[in-house]
Amino acid sequence: MTVTDTGASNLSAAVEGRPVPTGREEAWRFTPLPRLRGLHQSVEGAAQAEVVADLAPELRLELVDTASLPAASGPVETPAALALAATERSVVVTVPREAEASATSVLRITGTGTDRPAVSHIVVRAEAFSKAVVVLEHTGSATLSANVDVELGDGASLTLLSLQAWDDDAVHLGRQHAVVGRDASFRSFIASFGGDTVRLVPTVEYSAPGGSAELFGIYFADAGQHLEHRSLVDHAVPHCRSDVLFKGALRGDAEAGERGIARSVWVGDVIIRAAAVGTDTYELNRNLVLTDAARADSVPNLEIETGEIVGAGHASATGRFDDEQLFYLQARGIPADIATQLVVRGFFADVVARLGEPEWEQRLLDAIDGELGFAPEAADADQEDPQ
Amino acid sequence: MATLEIRDLHVSVETDAGDREILRGVDLTVRSGETHAIMGPNGSGKSTLAYSVAGHPKYKITGGTVTLDGEDVLAMSVDERARAGLFLAMQYPVEVPGVSVSNFLRTSVTAVRGEAPKLRTWVKEMRSSMDELSMDPAFAERSVNEGFSGGEKKRHEILQMQLLKPKIAILDETDSGLDVDALRIVSEGVNRVKESGEVGTLLITHYTRILRYIRPDFVHVFVDGRVVAEGGAELADQLESEGYDSYVKAAAAS
Ligand SMILES: Nc1ncnc2c1ncn2[C@@H]1O[C@H](COP(=O)(O)OP(=O)(O)OP(=O)(O)O)[C@@H](O)[C@H]1O
Ligand SMILES: [Mg+2]
């Protein structure tokens, strides 16, 4: 498996002599490097991205000297290592031991322009038996190389939503690594809508048995967008569970030539190492192609080094929008655009429902509607009528 | 009072071997309150007729006219036809994953009636219609047709007919795959719509069983893409005992 180059033991040392991606590497072959504005080669002179935190009262926020943090664990690709080395302060959010957050916490990363690269490092520590939902909300316009490190202590439960609601010109490279503790439960939810080029690498390792990781993702690529998600779940300890579910829709513009192509990439790597007996893992990617001028790559990789597992499977499917569904709905009087909206919403519905946060689920559904050219639904549309 | 008029309708489908004509001059008039049965052998073009009237893009109209109260149906989009009062209960209803029956029905009813039904009365209306068709209320939260049995799909089609109250309803083999109880329930549903409104019904079927519950005023024998014989209810009984052989042979000879 040629997932990512691993093994940064010391950050500053690790940066020296690291190979810069050329596009020939397996991990970079789908990525349009010329569109990264150099983020993969250098982040010299990078700005420190501003992160505005709106946290539940139980959570703690600290700014920590990035160089003082222990070396990043998990796979660290060169651009992520460069970004870490260039980050001055890390935003560290802690969910204290046994604390249950009484509200959703939001970290807003608002881009202020694309001219200058920006870097950021966010650490979320969910201490033992804590429970919280944290949202990373990316908006505005940016050339961002971002690192996110997540640690879950014993029995902790953490949901992390990373919402990419960028302006059209944003470029976003992101490493998001989670270390899942004993009997802990991590739920990652990635939702990518905006941006010119987004390449996110969510990775998971387990530090003790009994952990569970769910990686959910939705994305909607329209004309000219490149949205790439490469997940890696590394099962190296026994009796852990993982579930990877990504769904994407693509809508290109056949009239606009090269620039009209909607592009998505999903690569899902799962490694079950020899020691990881009792592993239970499943991954699924589905793509809904709404138009010509769209290309979805979907590559599941499952590498199994032990036979003593509970289950391991993967599935991947990319299909055209079903005209029979459209006909059926239209034959019931529903205009074509609303019928399309129903079908696309329906396609994403099961994943969106997995978030379990009604307010943010609605935000995601609104974003999907927005991609289809609909204004957000009136807030009272599904409420009781006044009389 | 509504009238659906089909005149000299010619329809082709595109095949690998070029266009193939399926309907070869169909004439048929259905008025409100009337019940017509179309009976004919497999592959004679009955579903093609139904889909063509509903506007399925696969079927190419090469000649003839279809009008509803004088309005040119063929010039309308699929959804405009439905909003004009045409309804097709499909032989093979389509699954729409992730779209709940209740959301689907409400969206459809809103489109056809031109305004959203009041939520309170709507829930009642949907529930009682489901109840009349012996559909478990749990169906409201399931995805449209997904995992429905053949019989459940057919009930769901008639549920839509009850809620949409069309001017003209075409029922394409709504009886096939139904056991006796389900057939009775579905037929009662159709009869309720017939009693409550002025619907004209076009029943496509192979069997007379459903015609015992829904009495046809006219029976049309459909062979090789056109109507070859017409009569009253007694024609159905004759077809059931004698089959289509004589009509098929006559059509082949002509
Ligand atoms: N898309 C298509 N491509 C090729 N042939 C088609 C297509 N659609 C219909 N046909 C053909 O047209 C003919 C009529 O089909 P249709 O489904 O209308 O028959 P039917 O009378 O409804 O049959 P059944 O009783 O089996 O439902 C058949 O021979 C069928 O194979
Ligand atoms: Mg048929």
- In the 3-class helix/strand/coil scheme, how is chain B assigned residue by residue? CCEEEEEEEEEEEEECCEEEEEEEEEEEEEECCCEEEEECCCCCCHHHHHHHHHCCCCEEEEEEEEEECCEEHHHCCHHHHHHHCEEEECCCCCCEEEEEHHHHHHHHHHHHHCCCCCHHHHHHHHHHHHHHCCCCHHHHHCEECCCCCHHHHHHHHHHHHHHHCCCEEEEECCCCCCCHHHHHHHHHHHHHHHHHCCCEEEEEECCCHHHHHCCCCEEEEEECCEEEEEECHHHHHHHHHHCCHHHHHHHHHC
Most informative mutation of B23, B47, B207 for ligand 1 (most atoms within 8 A of CB): B47
Residue A209 shares a structural domain with residue A328: no
**Residues A140 and A21 grouped into a single domain:** yes
Domain end (from A322, A344, A364): A322
In which band, very low, low, confident or very high, does the pLDDT at A325 lie, cut at 50, 70 and 90?
very high
Please determine, for residue B196, whether its predicted confidence score (pLDDT) is greater than 80: no
Per-chain mean pLDDT for chain A: 92
The lowest-confidence range among A2-6, A9-13, A53-57, B57-61 is: A2-6
Percent of all residues in chain A with a pLDDT value above 70, rounded to a whole number: 93
pLDDT of A386 strictly over 70: no
A19/A137 same-domain check? yes
Averaged over A178-194, what is the pLDDT? 98
* CA-closest candidate to residue A123, choices A155, A158, A98: A158
- The pLDDT of residue A313 is 93
A90-120 residue pLDDT tens: 999 999 999 999 999 999 999 989 999 999 9
Contact A342 B104 (CB under 8 A): yes
| ipTM of the complex in this document | 0.96
pLDDT score at A381: 43
Judged on CB neighbours under 10 Å (0-12, 13-18, 19+), A16 is: exposed
Q: Which DSSP symbol is given to A251?
A: E
Percent of residues, chain B, with pLDDT higher than 90: 83
Residue A276 and residue A363 in one domain: no
User: Is any atom of ligand 1 closer than 6 Å to the C-beta of B46?
Assistant: yes
pLDDT band at A17 (very low <50, low <70, confident <90, very high): confident
Residue B88 CA to ligand 1 centre (angstroms): 17
A207 by DSSP, 3-state: which? coil
Query: Residue B175 — pLDDT band, cuts 50, 70, 90?
Result: very high
Q: Please say if the pLDDT value at position B1 is more than 90.
A: no
Query: A257 or A243: which carries more pLDDT confidence?
Result: A243
Quote the crossing angle between the two packed helices B119-132 and B150-164, to the nearest 10°: 130
Asked whether residue A6 carries a pLDDT value surpassing 90, the answer given is: no
Same domain, A376 and A283: no
Q: Give me the mean pLDDT over the B89-117 stretch.
A: 95
Tell me if residue A50 falls in helix, strand or coil. coil
Tell me the C-alpha distance between B191 and B199, whole Å: 10
pTM of the model: 0.88
| Cβ-count burial B90-114 (b if 16+ within 10 Å, e if not) | bbebbbbbbbbbbbbbbbbbbbbee
Using CB atoms, which residue from A329, A333, A339 is nearest to B83? A333
What pLDDT is stored for residue A149 in this prediction? 98
- In terms of domains, do A302 and A364 share one? no
Any idea what DSSP says for residue A343?
Answer: H
Domain boundary among A273, A302, A322: A322
Pick B97's closest partner by Cβ from A333, A335, A346: A346
- Residue A242 · residue A269 · CB < 8 Å: no
Structure tokens at B78: 């699929």
pLDDT band at B109 (very low <50, low <70, confident <90, very high): very high
Same domain, A72 and A184: yes
Neighbours of B134 (CB within 10 A): 14
**Claim to verify: residue A307 and residue A341 sit in the same structural domain:** no
Mutate which of B73, B78, B118, B148 to test chain A, going by most A C-beta atoms within 10 A?
Answer: B78
User: Looking at A322, A344, A363, which one is the last position of a domain?
Assistant: A322
Same domain for A75 and A211: yes
Identify the three-state secondary structure at position A224: coil
pLDDT digits (tens, 9 = 90+) for A107-153: 999 998 999 999 999 999 999 999 999 999 999 999 999 999 999 99
- Structurally, how many domains does chain A consist of? 2
Q: In this structure, are A373 and A260 located in the same domain?
A: no
pLDDT class for B163, splitting at 50, 70, 90?
Answer: very high
Q: What is the mean pLDDT of chain B?
A: 94
- Residues A216 and A337 both lie in one domain: no
Neighbours of B2 (CB within 10 A): 18
Residue A327: which residues within 8 A CB-CB, separation 6 or more?
A: B56, B57, B78, B94
pLDDT at A374 over 80: no
What pLDDT, in 10s, does the model give residues B135-154? 999 999 999 999 999 999 99
- Are residue A185 and residue A316 in the same domain, yes or no? yes
B-proximal residues of A, 313-332, CB under 8 Å = 322-325, 327-332
Is residue A383 scored above 90 in pLDDT?
no
Residue A366 pLDDT more than 90? yes
Residue A272 structural domain:
2-322
Q: Does A365 touch chain B (CB under 8 A)?
A: no
**Tokens at residue A288, please?**
């809904």
Which of A298 and B194 is assigned the larger pLDDT?
Answer: A298
| % residues pLDDT > 90 (chain A) | 87
pLDDT for A375 equals 67
Chain B: residues touching A (Cβ < 8 Å)? 54-57, 77-79, 81-83, 88, 90, 93-99, 103-104, 107-108, 111-112, 118-120, 143-144, 160, 164
For residue A153, the 8-state DSSP code is -
> pLDDT digit string (tens) for B60-85?
999 999 999 999 999 999 999 999 99
